[in-house]
Amino acid sequence: MSKYRSEDIQVLEGLDPVRKRPGMYIGSTSSTGLHHLLWEILDNCVDEALNEHCDTIEVTLGKDHSVTIKDNGRGIPVDLYRNTKKSAMEILFTTLHSGGKFNQDNYKVSGGLHGVGMAVVCALSEKLVATSRREGFEWTQTYSRGKPTAKLKKGKPTRIYGTTVYFKPDGKIFPKREFNPKLILERAESKAFLNKGLKIIVNENKNKHMFHYPGGIQDYIKKIVGQKTTLMDKPFYVEKEDKSLRLEAAFLWTPNTDTQILSFANSIRTVDGGTHETGFRNGITKAVRAYIDRRKLLPKDITGITGDDVREGLIAIINIYLQGDVEFQGQTKGRLNSEITSQVEAVVKHTLEHYLNENQTLGNTLANRIILSAQARIASRQAKEAVQRKTNISHRLNLPGKLADCATTDKDQAELFICEGDSAGGSSKQARDRKTQAILPIRGKILNVETATMAKILANTEIQNLISACGTGIGDKFDYSKLRYGKIIIMTDADVDGAHICTLLLTFFYRYLPKIIEEGHLFIAQPPLYRIDAGKKIFYALSDEEKDEIIEGLNGTAHEIGRFKGLGEMPASDLKETTMSKKSRSLIRVTLDSAERASKTVNQLMGKNAESRFKFIKERAVFVQDLDV
């Protein structure tokens, strides 16, 4: 037995805990965590704007993976901090839980609350330069990995105020340091929408983008809706302010079935919702129910309206500003925990119910749309029950007949390959590891679930087989604990038809089994297009570019090139080595970074609006070099 003594215990001081366990402070060291550094500094600038000290923020992306963020706020204090010999600036950048937001006299409203943001950015940057413009001068100090590398320097005189922070993320912490301009532009635009009158400028690759929206979230929701058909001429807008809370919400309904609710607290996107979103949901549900009951619009065949009925087709933005102690869940602030559900619910219910009663033509239109949702829900449930009864008497364990299941019952070891057609299924069954790999062939292109009704979806044989194989069920019958495979792998031919089938499958999983994507279980296989034989050496290429690189690397060595027409015509040995063997294959994990962006993209590419799809293709046609037709 190894000895465990007091000298084995470590006490991490200063910012060492951040560098030792960065995931505790920024979620991960992936792209998400990298961008979280930028969000921390940007949010500090926005806090200055929220408190009416700043009206312009400028973000500049450097070619050396650096970011510079500048505002015209009050500037960071530079006087000595209490009884120390350090400036307030140095304390803020080198000490956890330090900041001016614990005292409401400095910041009545704030998104940064824990006093760790600036220090965390400093700890995880190989270089950080902070410049404060105040007291009539520029004051600058440099840091590296959480420690100052120079003393605070008094610079040139200036009459303007503000803060500039330059930081370069540490390559020892982040495997990849490339910032995503598109993601940053979306975040900057979102902040400008949420703060009426705030101007945010983003400079990237010699391009300058400016965001400035006097209409605030009313402009925001118009952008989200875009060319979609709506049931209202303009968004319904509510704004309410008292001593502790300022609430604004904008929302409308569309004929579509998907729901999109974006919630924010003190300009922070609460991706996991929280008490404000719960209050909003409750408020609109109770307002609509009260209107329908008052007008006696509910048909006899419907016992009641649910929250899901009300929210079907809803696009909404709710933005609140809280003073005092604001409770977020964790440093990444994904969920709001402050007890404001009843306050938000009361405001939304009262204002919406009053508006519907004052505008009965619109009220009746919305009521009819919601009643249709309820009728569709009831019809869908009946269809599900019919399918369930049919499945229960079909074959053992309710598994589809075409499924070649694996032997293991350990979900973490089990893998399901969804392949295209019986021919590919035959090759896959020969190439698989029978112990851990199951094969489910599907027939051609499955139903496009984005444009189909639930009843039609559940009646489709291929969809039934997919649901049965996964084991979880869908909709209100979904049970994540019954998932039968740790990896579900879409394996289609490396051509246009294969890509289309893959897209249809991704649409199905995203719309009806999103938990499988969120938990990291869905993957896309990477079968090669070419096999290149050069003597005793064999090479595989996923694309024409990769093939050309391999041939160039052979330096004239005699070789033969074979092109795989599809998985069904690929020898089982090649399929195993390149695509299925855990030792040599390459998989792409399907992830979901932004529910808002994903929903918009799926609807644009797979929905009923052909005009939107044509516009998308037209805008991107210039980037296509080789077209496989």
Positions marked catalytic: 420, 493, 495, 497
CB atoms within 10 A of CB 550: 18
Give Rg (Cα) of the chain: 28
C-alpha distances in Å from residue 248, one per residue of 145, 219, 276, 327, 429: 40, 13, 11, 19, 57
Residue with tokens 């719309």: 511
Structure tokens belonging to residue 296:
């006696």
Q: Which DSSP string corresponds to 214-244? A: TTTHHHHHHHHHTT---SSSS-EEEEEE-SS
| Contact present, 31 and 176 (Cβ < 8 Å) | yes
Pairing of strands 199-204, 153-157: unpaired
Pairing of strands 199-204, 56-61: parallel
| Contact present, 411 and 486 (Cβ < 8 Å) | yes
Helix (H) / strand (E) element for 212: namely: strand 207-212
Edge-first strand order for the sheet with 530-534 is: 537-541, 530-534, 560-563
Question: In the 8-state DSSP scheme, what is residue 150?
Answer: S
Structure tokens belonging to residue 150:
């120079």
In residues, how long is the chain?
629
Q: Which DSSP string corresponds to 8-22? A: G-----TTHHHHH-T
**Cα gap 420→499, rounded to integer Å:** 11
Closest CA to 568 of 464, 448, 437, 443: 443
